Amino acid sequence: MLGELGLLCVIVAFACTLACALFLTTSKRGDYAGLIAGCLRVAAALTLGALTALMGARVWDDFSVSAVAAHSNRALPLLYKIAGSWGAHEGSMLLWCAVMACFAAVLSRQARNELVLTALCVQAALLAGALAFVLFASNPFTRQIPPPLDGQALTPLLQDVALAAHPPMLYLGYVGFSVVFSLACAGLWHKRLDSDWARMARPWICVPWAALTLGIGLGSWWAYRVLGWGGFWFWDPVENASLLPWLAGTALLHVSRVLEKRGMLAAATALLAILTFAMSLIGTFLVRSGLVTSVHSFASDPARGAYILGYFAVSVGGALTLFAWRAPGGPRPQPLSREGVMLMGAVLLGIACATVLLGTLYPMLAEWLGEGGIAVGALYFQMTVLPVLGLCVVLAGLAQRLRWERDNFSRLAPALVNPALATLAGGLIVLTLATREVALAAVCIALAVWMVAALLFRPRARLSVMLAHGGAALVILGMVGAGLWQSAAHGAPGQALKLGPYTAIYEGMEPVLGPTYHGQGARLRIEDAHGMVLGSLTPQLRMYDGGEHVATPAILPRLWGDIYAVATPEGVELRLEPLIYALWLGCALAASGGLLALRRR
Amino acid sequence: MNMALPDVIQIIREHVRTIPPRMIPLAIAIGLGLVMALSLLLPHRAPPSPLVGRILPSFMLPRVDDIHKSLMPRDFYGQPALLNVFSSWCVPCRAEQPLLMQLSGKVRIYGIAWRDTAENVSAYLSETGNPYQAVALDKIPVTTVTLGIFGVPTTYLVDEKGVIRAKWDTPLDQQMIDKELLPKLEEIQANAKK
């Protein structure tokens, strides 16, 4: 029953949104504002209802619904029965629609505004397209008769708390940017891309940006805690898919500030609004079409890829045609002014985004060029993207001390003395104290200090900017710690393992038994240099009921970083991950900064 | 209407110069869309398995016909051979079986029954025919990680020194056998004779 109810919800929601989208063809939308707003609210309620129906089918183990049978089973803990609803392709697309509809419903409160009404119709068209995809290409409620007695196991790696929250956060970001896309289309259409537009669009930029930041952080935290590789970012195509809209969105966030404050850069704002959503779509396309091979390819179906590509062509192609037709002109900002530097930063972020996109698509291109299947490694991204982002950090600090409109060097120079001294001090401290990768680490830490110092020495700095830029500085710190200063040691059972100031003493194997797995754990006693016991770690080799083997790491957090142990077939591997928590802390801080930017002055 | 190439380039260049900058995003997006569309249409190959070119990783599995005997990489030395990982519950494996029967005249084939039981494998082989020199049972399965298997059937071509020369992680079809498998096998055999 629940399945049919869910399907019915999707069908009616599709009809509602299609009806709203048809109002794009008439200019007398104003007379039907109430109807359009109502339809979108109904659609939001219905898509949420459909999502609830899918959750219900999973909670009550209705294995006649094939999406349930494929990714849920009786033994699965309740949390993952619910959270797993959006783990697989069909459910995640439903979540995508639900988030989009909810954003539209919130926007519909301002439906009396002519501009917002047009944006609502654009949003309805986007939503209708997404719902059609759910209905025709990835129906989560397909029945299979006779139903199996029990479903397939949910991939054990996905059974994790961080991963239960990661997809909704990511989608809140991905899909959230659809609203500012719609607003940009409406703004282009009505030729009203001005300060008022930027003020109205601000929440629709800040909230998705914060959610995406948090979502990427959660995903990285999950990879660190669950995958047992001890890393936090692998430049995997699926990870890049989330980085693309983040880079474009960050550029949009800053450029829209200039539009709000100075009424400039309207064209750049509109273009970035369109591109950010386009990057979200490309990300979805890459993940869902299976074109790029990835450690987490979920679903690969060329028909779905073709549909998403068609959706991309119509929405982004349409918006960019509108842009080509009606892009507003405007004065260029002075190079030495806050808006000038912010524009430069946005351009750099755009370059970084294009570089990531190129690296992600390159394996595909290389295949046509006859170079055979190749994979683009982390080295490419580290050598191309990170320097560009480093330059962005320099500009981010500089922009704090610059004045709007125009500035001059004679005023600027004294204002930069204090931050520059702090930066120099930070770099020198690292140069003297660090033992590994000294030069690179010093540059990175100096950048982080610069970003914060420029803010701290600035009078009347906004709290939101402080949090966001402070968060970014913390992320740099975490990257230096975990990327440059990480150290590892391997050992066989029975040995005492020495790593830095710590010693790990093997105390024996113990059996572990969980709700869906059993296995072995190697208990390690961790002692510091003075022989004081700090705690014990039990990295496990788990065998899940579905037959998968997973090496689950164990982590002992310390003030200066994590002690990370993972069981390997040969014994155990112990790693020191200095300062790695700064990464997740930084993401959370930056996200809270993004949310704080909602506050009116 | 014959025009020299430089003229054409000149004309294109003039046209490009007249494109207003606000058209550029659209042009780039169209290009990007075409790239993605083409990549959907063109046949897609997976990146080469890191195992290709390496020696067969060590494993020791009980044989289905006699659990006191086992299958291990040593069995592959001396002559080129195929290693076919299959399951009795896997439908594509069933479809692949007649092709393996044909191949079994030309090359030795060893089988690993993946996530399976001895009874099911025996029943399956008596039904479809047995192209294998020997079939080992991987119940747990332990070969998932060592051999990099993420689905059945998976087939490896192993040369006379036990080095993996090719891996197919999709069911073999006649075209793949004629165009990829047999030429590679002949190449290995020719090299071995030298």
* Inter-residue contact A373 to B46 (CB < 8 Å): yes
Average pLDDT over residues A132-138: 90
pLDDT in tens, B129-178: 899 989 998 877 777 677 877 777 889 999 888 888 888 887 888 888 88
Containing structural domain, residue B29: 5-41
By Cβ distance, the residue of A282, A293, A365 closest to B46 is: A293
Q: Is the pLDDT of residue A155 over 90?
A: no
Distance CA B177, CA B164 (A): 17
Residues 6+ apart with CB under 8 A from A163: A83, A87, A218, A219, A222, A226
By Cβ distance, the residue of B22, B36, B141 closest to A327 is: B22
CATH of the domain at B110: 3.40.30.10
Closest CA to B113 of B66, B60, B167, B153: B153
| Minimum CA–CA partner of B46 in chain A | A373
User: Are B114 and B165 members of one domain?
Assistant: yes
Of A181-185, A298-302, A360-364, A475-479, which gets the smallest average pLDDT? A298-302
Chain B interface disruption, residue of A364, A376, A544, A545, most B CBs within 10 A: A364
User: Are B107 and B11 members of one domain?
Assistant: no
Average pLDDT over residues A224-240: 81
| Sequence-ordered strand ranges (E) for chain B | 61-62, 70-71, 81-86, 108-114, 134-138, 154-158, 164-168
Of A15-24, A282-291, A306-315, which gets the smallest average pLDDT? A282-291
Average pLDDT over residues A43-68: 91
pLDDT band at residue A296 using 50, 70 and 90 as cut-offs? very low
By Cβ distance, the residue of A306, A317, A320 closest to B40 is: A306
Q: Is the pLDDT of residue A570 over 70?
A: no
Distance CA B106, CA B79 (A): 11
Q: Is the pLDDT of residue A295 over 50?
A: no
* CB–CB contact A547 B141 (8 Å): yes
Q: At CA A84, angle to CA A83 and CA A89, rounded to 5?
A: 125
| Sequence-ordered strand ranges (E) for B70-163 | 70-71, 81-86, 108-114, 134-138, 154-158
Cα Rg for chain B, rounded, in angstroms?
25
| Residue B80, domain member (yes or no) | yes
| Residue B50, domain member (yes or no) | no
Q: Is the pLDDT of residue A365 over 80?
A: no
Query: Quick check: A459 contacting B, CB < 8 Å?
Result: no
User: Are B22 and B93 members of one domain?
Assistant: no
| Minimum CA–CA partner of A326 in chain B | B22
User: Are B73 and B129 members of one domain?
Assistant: yes
Tell me what pLDDT residue A8 has: 95
pLDDT band at residue A87 using 50, 70 and 90 as cut-offs? confident
User: Are B14 and B88 members of one domain?
Assistant: no
Model-level pTM?
Answer: 0.81
What is the distance, to the nearest Å, from the Cα of residue B145 to the centroid of all Cα atoms in its chain? Answer: 16
User: Are B79 and B122 members of one domain?
Assistant: yes
| Minimum CA–CA partner of A292 in chain B | B46
Strand partners, A76: none
Partners of A549 on chain B (C-beta within 8 Å) are 144-145
Residue with tokens 């709290």: A463
Tell me what pLDDT residue A205 has: 96
User: Are B25 and B74 members of one domain?
Assistant: no
* CB–CB contact A302 B33 (8 Å): no
Tell me what pLDDT residue A294 has: 43
Tell me what pLDDT residue A299 has: 42
What's the count of helices (H) and strands (E) in chain A, helices before strands? 17, 10
% chain B with pLDDT above 70: 93
Average pLDDT over residues A414-431: 92
| Residue B48, domain member (yes or no) | no
pLDDT band at residue A255 using 50, 70 and 90 as cut-offs? very high
User: Are B23 and B73 members of one domain?
Assistant: no
Average pLDDT over residues A271-278: 96
| Residue B21, domain member (yes or no) | yes
User: Are B157 and B92 members of one domain?
Assistant: yes
Of A203-207, A390-394, A493-497, which gets the smallest average pLDDT? A493-497
User: Are B72 and B14 members of one domain?
Assistant: no
Structure tokens at A274: 């369109």
What is the distance, to the nearest Å, from the Cα of residue A347 to the centroid of all Cα atoms in its chain? Answer: 20
Partners of A327 on chain B (C-beta within 8 Å) are 22
Kindly report the nearest CA distance between residue A64 and chain B, in angstroms. Answer: 21
User: Are B26 and B104 members of one domain?
Assistant: no
For chain B, how many structural domains are there in total?
2
**Reduced DSSP (H G I as helix, E B as strand, rest coil) percent helix, strand, coil of chain A, to 5:** 65, 10, 25
Sorted by where each begins, the domain ranges of chain A are 1-156, 160-331, 379-485+583-596, 487-578
Kindly report the nearest CA distance between residue B105 and chain A, in angstroms. Answer: 32
Residue, of A281 and A368, whose pLDDT is higher: A281
User: Are B71 and B122 members of one domain?
Assistant: yes
